[in-house]
Amino acid sequence: MAQYEKILLRNMEQPGYRGSLHEYERTGGYQALRKVLRDLSPAQVIEAVKNSGLRGRGGAGFPTGIKWGFVPKDHPGPKYLCCNADESEPGTFKDRQLMERDPHQLLEGILIACYAIGAPVAYIYIRGEFRLGAKILERAIEEARGAGYIGPRILGTDVGIEVYVHQGAGAYICGEETALLESLEGKRGLPRFKPPFPATHGLYQKPTVVNNVETLCNVPHIVNRGAEWFASIGSPPKSTGTRIFCLSGHVKRPGNYEVPMGVTFRELIFELGGGMRSEKPLKGFIPGGASAPFLTPDHLDVKMDFESVAQAGSMLGSGGVTVMEEGTSMVWAALRLMEFFYHESCGKCTPCREGSSWILQILQRIWAGGGRPGDLELLEDLCKNIEGRTVCAFGDAEVSPVLSTLRYWRDEYEALIHQAEATRTTKGEIPVLTM
Amino acid sequence: MAEQHTPQLLRVTIDGIAVQVPPGTLVIEAARQVGVMIPHFCYHPKLEPDANCRMCLVEIEKMPRLQTSCSTRVTDGMVVRSNTSPVVQAARKSVLEFILANHPLDCPVCDQGGRCDLQDFSHEYTPTVSRFTELKRIFPKEYFSPLIETQMNRCVQCLRCVRYCDQVMDVKALAPAGRGTMTEIKHFGHHALDCEFCGGCVQICPVGAITSRLSMYEYRPWMLKRTETICPYCGDGCQFTIQQKNNELIEVNSTYGAGRNRGDLCARGYFGYHASTHPDRLRHPLIRRPDGTFREVPWEEALEVAGERLMGIKQAHGGEAIAGLITSRCTNEELYLFQKLMRVVLGTNKIDCSARYGHVNGIEPLRRVQGAHRWTVTFEDIVAADVLLLVGTNITETNPITGLKVKEAVKRRGARLLTLETLLPVRGSISNITTLSSCHIPVHPLGYGQAVNALVKAMIEQNDVAPQIREQAVEFYRTIESVLRTCSWEDLECDLGVSRYRFFEMARIFREAMRAVVLIGQGVLRASRGADIVTNLLDLLLLAGHHQRPGCGLGVLAEENNDQGAVEMGALASYLPGPVSLSDQAACQAIASLWMEELPQGPSATLPEILNQARVGHVRALYVVGENPLASLPPSFNVQEALERVEVLVCQELFLTETARHAHIVLPACSYAEKDGTFTNTEGLVQPVRRAIDPVGESQPDWAIFSALSVVMGYPIEYGSAKEIFKEIQSVIPRYALLGPAPTPPNVHQDVVDRYLHGDFQVDVTQRYTWPRLSPKSEKRLTLILTQSLFHSGKFSTRAKGLLRVQAEGTLLLNSTEAARWGLQPGGMARLSNERGAVSVKVRVLDRVPEGMAFFPEHFDHDIRILFQAEVDPLTQVPCWKQTSVTVEPQ
């Protein structure tokens, strides 16, 4: 089995590492921040991140340096950095570990990002259920403040940065960056339409960068070891660095695995993850969190980088790989995911709001033995009418399990419908009173 | 011909039609300009785009996916396909299919049926068979409020109501609750909706999810006859549409963008329309029997008796023994004709109107200082202002729509608001303008004179006086400076309870303004020496150098719908139409020759003077039109005595009011809804009032009654219609010939300003800036103030059943600290007493009322009036009586 150098998980995998400031500093922590404040201009930091090829780890994979570059340099008012720690994607649990086990790595990344974009304030918007993570971050912020890393004059320079933790209230949609900003402003967490983008009109309509936890954790390492070093990891030029993949489902060793981008799904599932949990073979897997379309065993040799997975018809997304063995009903899997999306649809856009309940009811009916001919065509049509017609990407996400299972396992749906047809006693769909 | 292309405009092609629009235009608006109607639910031009309904999707070249035309702004060369794109058509169909999936399709019982966007678009786009065969989501019916009804199953979740309530009204009473398909529009708290009841949510709802309870199940839209007219309540002069069925008032609404209100209304306008057709309306002329009861008589008899008795007084005692009072709620035509009748036929100058209760306190200083008796600014200037100074006005409750302009300036355009007001900046269910203030100074109702002194003093002391005044009117500002030296900061701070630095700050902001507008409300206008305060505020405007700057000016907020018109029609003591002062011989002569009549030479008399003269027998006949002095003044004013003493009392009224009960002859008049004419709003715009329903009973428009009476009395001044009177008004008052959709405000008369700056100001400058010290707050007594409520206007609205559902009685309003101090329970009773009497009232806690004070709505002052004492302003003869002090005990 190949051994890969761990970057983000390195510290926490040392025996006895508890993530205190002292321990973090001993492993070279906050050296990047010192270097940045001492030697680099904000433009140079942005340049380095651009050159590293770092792309967002939250799901969409937007190049981080370019995002930072969009923030107007000479904006007179305040600017903000928001760390998106609302990790709610089913099958994804990397940010939680990064925050709970090595909070200072994140804080250092946040501080460098703030310096780069000129933001005096950063908010960590953390998922409401992550109470422990919030507590740990609060404590880490206090430690860092005590050591002069956070405050009005960081390490004696003129740079002042404040970091606050804000706990969400349990809505998946608040992981969407603009809904996150609305929620942070104290409003109902509904996505905003774009443009304008947060880079110019973000929190309180001020220039704002929203970055994922894992993205920001990479930043100190890029500063310490250079953009070239980072750009050489993974499958350059488009997918550089490592990713933490969250392996779950019917495998022997579920968990977080940090590997360079570009390893294959086969390697992740069968070597790192130890293969399937039982004798049953692999039936399918979700490659990048619940929003990503399913893939099949035929895709096991697809490289885990942004382009390759997209080419295979799915997306690398948040890095949550959920594995399903033979014998799993894919109709049930789609139904289960649809229940989640129905529950979490914020209700802002008509197609997503009404479509999620409609699709869910059809799936429930099919699963309960009430399927009818034409249901599958209707499902596909409804999905097509949601995709690309909503403010945020939730609409695209909610149809992906249905569309992809229909693509690869349509026979399972058809079997259920046939069975229902065979046992149905009445033919008319709406009972009519006949005299 | 070369193609015209202005660089500031962007070229867009929509469905093959080219159009040029300014940058920033939304695609949906650009399309509207070329006649391409893009269907939408959530978009509304009044609101920020939200792009949630997805109905307005269009195809735009070089852009991925379909775009929402309500949120996309045009770029140069953009090519948009809407109705010509099959993809777009299919997308809209699918959005409608989604919306209709959970829609109850209860159109037969839906009040929106026939004017529903969802119905119209469905008709346009969807096939008749739905593919939805699952279970529909159902929200159980919940009681919402006494006036507004929700039916959430019909809701399309466009959030227009929520956004309107926040962005336009600044009330934030509504919010979406729940998530996804379970989203429903709710209000806050475990009680019925408690808001401003502006009806905006009902008006802006594109479907039947929010409807009015007043007209539920009463109509289909095509049964209604519509009439555009003007609201009869406050001076804002909102345009609205009365909708009637079989001569019954069914509903009132206002078209988007219509009138000065731009389609926005307040509770009075939206829910107050039933006052006109109240069952108590007088239907026949009445003549009083000797035993005090009335008998119905035919019009001929009533007019004959009235004419004979009035003429009898004239012949026996001269015209000076006759006086007339008229309400400013009448149309301009009626006010004009009334004063003409009184002067020409009855030969008296003793005429006054309800503008005497306060509005004259604003008019007189405006005439004196700037030569124009009306606003030199418009509502547009309020919106465009960068600094607004509001003095003594709880604007949301008295002039709600002018208040909206202030809110728009502050919230959307970042204007700075300065407030001198009694209210405390505490939020509540009704918006409080002081909460938007960037500099609020709380002022005791008796302290406005001193507060304005402090502001002027601050401006002079920190050298904020404009250079041109300092150079060209040295005398003016030096005199004010020296007069104000006698008024020390220590005294001012002690009396006002506010540090001098707050006034320095306010003066600085006011001075720095590029466009400053001052609005003055009832707190000043009804105060003792209100005219002095207004004059001093005009001084402030002069000192800051704002008087000549465009967009700057001072506006007096009219309480009644036609206060301004009443003044201009000459229905005011000592003025002829214009208003032309009776002392202006040449102008009077001009009017006399236009009328081809002799003007009476006798003295004029104001409302208090008329009542006094009636009491002592100098005035023997009183013609009262729509005015109710017995209920508008406290008993200590002895109005009853005056009414009982006069030999002839003719009352022309909608209802048998307290005053009318004393009348010998009662003539039934029409309300605004039953007649034609014009009203002049607070900013001076003359707007047409149109007859929407037939007169109730045998009632007649006031002008027709005056006309008929003149014939009976043998001096016919006859007109065939209100329009004929208006034509005559136009010949008498040149300004009334300039009509339009927006007012053309007069300029400040430079010669008048110069005369004022170089001499006229001195006449009373010492006296104007000298104010008595406020007596220290009494621990044993509470200051009781009669205030105006958002839900009522005068006493007329207390006949509107819709408004009575929100506010049916007066409650004593005081803050929680004060309530605790007197041992009062919210909802309990309190006994108020002073040397004049005692009354029991219900208590309500309202934390915006300052300590040491209690408010009571004047609309329900019937019992509480006995506690008050009127004092007549020696200068303008305004009866001031809206405050008193009382002791309080729980009951």
Q: Which CATH number fits the domain that encloses residue B492?
A: 3.40.228.10
The answer to whether the CB of A290 falls within 8 A of the CB of A340 is yes
Residue B853's pLDDT band (boundaries 50, 70, 90)?
A: very high
pLDDT tens profile A364-399: 999 999 999 999 999 999 999 999 999 999 999 999
Q: What is the mean pLDDT of the segment spanning B75-88? A: 96
Of B91, B98, B181, the CB nearest to A347: B181
Chain-centroid distance, C-alpha A154: 31
* C-beta neighbour count of B603 within 10 angstroms: 14
> Is residue B80 situated within a structural domain?
yes
Q: Which residues of A touch B57 (CB under 8 A)?
A: 389
Q: Residues A74-98: pLDDT tens digits? A: 899 899 999 999 999 999 999 999 9
Q: Per-residue pLDDT averaged across A34-38, rounded?
A: 96
**How far apart (Å, rounded) are the C-alpha atoms in residues B251 and B271?**
8
Query: Cβ–Cβ of A347/B157 closer than 8 Å?
Result: yes
| Chain A residues near residue B53 by CB distance under 8 angstroms | 349-350
Determine whether the interchain pair B134/A361 forms a contact, defined as Cβ–Cβ distance below 8 Å: yes
Phi-psi category of B755—alpha, beta or left, where left has phi over 0 and alpha has psi -120 to 50?
alpha
Subunit contact A347:B182, Cβ cutoff 8 A: yes
Class of domain A330-421: mainly alpha
* Residues from chain B contacting residue A365 (CB–CB below 8 Å): 134
B794 and B733 housed in the same domain:
no
As given in the structure block, the two tokens for residue B763 are: 């006449």
Q: State residue A427's pLDDT score.
A: 62
Give the one of A347, A378, A391 whose C-beta lies nearest to B180's C-beta.
A347
The CATH class, in words, for A244-325 is: alpha beta
| B683 and B604 assigned to the same domain | yes
Please tell me the pTM assigned to this model.
0.95
Give B231's contacts (C-beta < 8 A, 6+ positions apart): B237, B238, B239, B240, B265, B268, B269, B561
Q: Quick check: B68 contacting A, CB < 8 Å?
A: yes
In the beta sheet, which residues pair with residue B253? B241
As a whole number, mean pLDDT of residues B142-164 equals 95
Nearest to B98 among A342, A355, A365 (CB): A355
Cross-chain Cβ contact A361/B49 below 8 Å: no
B486 close to B457: Cβ distance less than 8 angstroms: no
Q: How far is B206 from chain A (nearest CA, A)?
A: 15
Q: How far is CA A329 from CA A321, A405, B371, B546, in A?
A: 18, 10, 87, 78
Q: Count of alpha carbons within 13 Å of A6, Cβ hemisphere only?
A: 13
Q: Which of B298, B245, B330, B242 is nearest to B697 (CA)?
A: B298
d(C-alpha B74, C-alpha A422), whole Å: 56
Residue of B54, B69, B72, B136 best to disrupt the A interface, most CBs of A under 10 A: B54
Q: What percent of chain B has pLDDT over 70?
A: 99
pLDDT at A401 over 70: yes
pLDDT for residue B1 is more than 50: no
Residues B663, B585: one domain?
yes
A354/B175 CB distance under 8 A: no
Whether A11-232 shares its CATH topology with A244-325 is answered: no
Least CB–CB distance from A357: residue in B53, B54, B180? B180
Say what the pLDDT of residue B738 is.
Answer: 77
Nearest by CB: A348 against B49, B52, B98: B52
Q: What is the mean pLDDT of chain B?
A: 94
Given this model, what pLDDT does residue B70 score?
A: 96
- pLDDT: is A426 or B847 the higher one? B847
Q: How many domains does chain B have?
A: 4
Q: Domain extents for chain A?
A: 11-232, 244-325, 330-421
Nearest CA in chain B to A381: B94
Closest CA to B562 of B234, B276, B275, B798: B234
| Cβ–Cβ contact B107 with A under 8 A | no
The stretch A274-280 carries a mean pLDDT of 95
Domain final residue, candidates B61, B77, B98: B98
Percent of chain A that is helix, strand, coil (3-state, to 5) = 45, 15, 40
Å between B196 CA and nearest CA of chain A: 22
- Minimal C-alpha gap between A358 and chain B (Å): 7
pLDDT category at B737 given cuts 50, 70, 90 is confident
Domain-embedded: residue B299: yes
**pLDDT of B777:** 78
Query: pLDDT digit string (tens) for A152-179?
Result: 999 999 999 999 999 999 999 999 999 9
Q: Are B422 and B850 in contact (CB under 8 A)?
A: yes
Q: Is B153 on the interface with A (CB under 8 A)?
A: no
* pLDDT score for B128: 76
Both B486 and B589 in a single domain? Answer: no
Per-residue pLDDT tens digits for A212-227: 999 999 999 999 999 9
B101 and A CB contact within 8 Å = yes
**Is it the case that residue B3 has pLDDT exceeding 60?**
no
Q: Are residues B344 and B422 in the same domain?
A: no
Q: Residues of B with CB below 8 A from A373's CB?
A: none
Please state, in angstroms and rounded to a whole number, the distance separating the CA atoms of residues B735 and B578: 9
Residue A282: pLDDT band (50, 70, 90) is very high
Topology of domain A11-232, CATH? Rossmann fold (3.40.50)
Q: Would residue B699 count as lying in a domain?
A: yes
CB B366 within 8 A of CB B556: yes
Same domain for B522 and B605, yes or no, is no
Confidence of residue B6 (pLDDT cuts 50, 70, 90): low
Residues in CB range of B80: below 8 A, 6 or more apart: B12, B13, B14, B15, B27, B30, B31, B58, B59, B60, B61, B69
pLDDT digits (tens, 9 = 90+) for B644-678: 999 999 999 999 999 999 999 999 999 999 999 99
Can you give the pLDDT at residue A435?
Answer: 66
- Determine the 3-state secondary structure of B485 from DSSP: helix
Region B560-589: what's the mean pLDDT?
A: 95
Q: Which range marks the domain in which residue B589 is found?
A: 286-358+563-737
- Interatomic CA distance for residues A401 and A231, integer angstroms: 33
Residue B379 has pLDDT above 70, yes or no: yes
Residues B581, B635 within the same domain: yes
**Chain B nearest C-alpha distance from A341 (Å):** 10
Q: Do B674 and B810 fall within a single domain? A: no
Same domain, B763 and B797: no
Interface probe with A: pick from B133, B165, B185, B207, most Cβ of A within 10 Å: B133
* Angstrom distance (rounded) from CA B873 to CA B858: 20
Using 50, 70 and 90 to split pLDDT, how confident is the model at B189? Answer: confident
> Contact B102/A357, CB-based, under 8 Å?
yes
Strand partners, B841: B830
Angle of CA points B543, B549, B555, to nearest 5°? 75
Please tell me the predicted confidence (pLDDT) of residue B27.
97
Model confidence over A225-235: pLDDT tens digits?
999 999 999 99
The mean predicted confidence, pLDDT, of chain A is: 95
B5 band by pLDDT with thresholds 50, 70 and 90: low
Question: Is B50 an 8 Å CB contact of chain A?
Answer: yes
3-state secondary structure (DSSP) of residue A305: coil
Are A323 and A285 in contact, with CB atoms under 8 Å apart?
A: yes
Higher per-residue confidence, B777 vs B621 = B621
* Structure token pair of residue B18: 């080219």
B410 lies in the same domain as B527: yes
What number of C-beta contacts closer than 8 Å exist between A and B? Answer: 94
- Give yes or no for B129 touching A (CB within 8 A): no
Same domain, B317 and B396: no
Q: Is residue B3 part of a domain?
A: no
Domain-located, residue B653: yes
Q: Are residues B548 and B582 in the same domain?
A: no
B53 touches chain A (CB under 8 A): yes
Nearest to B879 by CA among B565, B615, B527: B527
- The Cα A116–Cα A54 span in angstroms is 15
- Cβ contacts (< 8 Å) between B175 and chain A: which residues? 188
* pLDDT of amino acid A405: 97
Q: With an 8 Å Cβ cutoff, are A355 and B102 in contact?
A: no
Nearest-by-Cβ selection for B91 from A193, A349, A389: A389
| Residue A429: band (very low, low, confident or very high) from pLDDT cuts 50, 70, 90 | low
Q: What CATH number did the domain enclosing B290 receive?
A: 3.40.50.740
